[in-house]
Amino acid sequence: MAAMIPEFPRWTPFMPNALGDSLQFAPLPPRSDFSEFVSKLDIGDVRARFGFPVEAESLWPLLAPRIPDCRAIGAWNGRSLVGAGMLAKFAPGQWEFALIVRSDLKRRRIGTALVHHAFAKARALGAGEVVAHVRSDNTAARGLVRSLGFVAVGGPGLEQFYAARLSTEQTVG
């Protein structure tokens, strides 16, 4: 039996975070120097996000692939990249979202703010649903997606699939 996926509720245009009002969102520029960001990622967090350890020079194509229908989003605190997300077209009307936040800045609502921004972007791109593929051992990401209205819809073994329907009333944040 398929899980019922509730509509993601309306949210406020700006999600407060522990860094204050300085958190901004912008596309991740190609060939950006994000060595500081990578240096602040714990190997366990990289493994939880990608399923394997990744060298710094190999991380960029995973965070910002140069393919059509893919949007790489950076969460910036001033000039520092503090989180990165990828929004990619998965199917008609459906976009996939994935993210990683600097390990030293976790639990400060940066991931939550990134998801809200991605939902607004996905809605503007015509999405009715956003999906997330989360490793079953990534308890932080599983908790985040569930807290934001995603519903588990299946998945084999180590990977679990979640989906959230987007409301037509959502505002850009």
CATH number at residue 23: 3.40.630.30
Asked if the structure places residue 155 within a domain, the reply is: yes
> What is the pLDDT at residue 108?
87
Q: How many domains does the chain have?
A: 1
Quick one: DSSP state of residue 128?
S
One-letter amino acid of 14: F
Q: pTM to 2 decimals?
A: 0.77
Asked if the structure places residue 171 within a domain, the reply is: no
Asked if the structure places residue 105 within a domain, the reply is: yes
Q: Is residue 143 predicted with pLDDT exceeding 80? A: yes
> What is the pLDDT at residue 110?
92
> What is the pLDDT at residue 9?
40
| Domain span holding position 44 | 7-166
What average pLDDT does range 119-144 have in this prediction? 89
What CA–CA distance (Å, rounded) separates 141 from 147?
10
**pLDDT, tens digit, 9 for 90 and up, residues 74-130:** 899 888 889 999 899 988 999 999 888 998 998 888 999 999 999 999 999 999 999
Runs of H (alpha helix) within 56-173: 56-63, 110-124, 139-147
